[in-house]
Amino acid sequence: MFPPDAGRAPLRPAADPHAAAAETWQMLSGLFEASRLIPAALRAADGSLPLTVIGGFLGAGKTTLLNRLLSAPHGRRIAVLVNDFGRINIDAALIRSRSEDMISLTNGCACCSVAGDLTKTLIALAQREEPPEAIVLEASGLADPRGIAQVALANPALRLDGLLVVADAETLAARAADPLTGAPFRAQLAAADLVVLSKLDLLDEAGREAARAWLATELPGRPVIEADHGGIPAEIALGIASTRDLRGETPALAGTRRGLRDLQPELRRAAGRNPTAGLAGHAAGHAAARQGRAVPGRRTGAARGVPARGCALEHHARRAVQRSPGRTCR
């Protein structure tokens, strides 16, 4: 287990309010969709499925790490969720069966294609008679892993094990300095519970020391592990044991000043709930409505039986994000 909030000093990206507002609304939309789709009861117990989200830029080494986790003899049933099967190169001898959206392995692991529907994939895993012992979710190259994790954790069967970000030692400083990639790259690093430093074997000793020094300066105290030809031990990747509560954090792709934390007053006015309840309360309200019962103390549209498309909370959230600095959508 890594120390809670180790070195969590902010690594601030440059402001890009247009991208930030879009990222925040995309994450909120995912949460609202999850609240509609997740059934009132799941076969897997609440908090029984540990979730690890792996982020990092294209080419940093995420796929190599995922391949290692799938094929390593760690003895755990892992479900790895990816956007694109084509980049996963699994040894044919390990494949037990293959369908359009899943590869089952002889070691009990499975690789699933999210195919743009993360919520439904996670529901299916939580409804299995024999659910996975761990879920690993690959974030896309530009995504802030916090937003992806917040959407996934709307499923009550999941609990956060940690956010792992893979960083290419060859391109660290260049990515951060590039005006096009600097903001999302720094946001990914700032979100990480654990940074995996990859491709050190491609650098000479001076280059390796420069990469280590850059991370130590930018993320003081943050746990960093160096990948051995792309892989790290499964017990480290799947044993972060984070104690963070992501409901209070804002995906910071581009330093927006109106993220989840800043939206809370408006969300509370729409929902009429306890300030600490967060968006999880919104999902509970929709679930209660599906069961035909009200949630005490809540005044959401869902709790009153109002159709989800008319939910006041969603309306206020959309309006709040649209009023982000620089946002021009209507």
Per-residue pLDDT tens digits for 307-317 = 444 454 445 44
Per-residue pLDDT tens digits for 260-270 = 444 444 444 44
Q: Where are the domains of the chain?
A: 17-27+42-248, 260-322
Higher pLDDT, 277 or 99: 99
Phi, psi (rounded to 5 degrees) for 155: -80, 115
CATH architecture under which domain 17-27+42-248 falls: 3-Layer(aba) Sandwich (3.40)
CA-nearest of 260, 297, 20 to 150 is 260
pLDDT at 19: 52
On the question of pLDDT at 106 being above 70, the answer is yes
Per-residue pLDDT tens digits for 83-99 = 776 667 777 778 888 88
Whole-model pTM over 0.85 = no
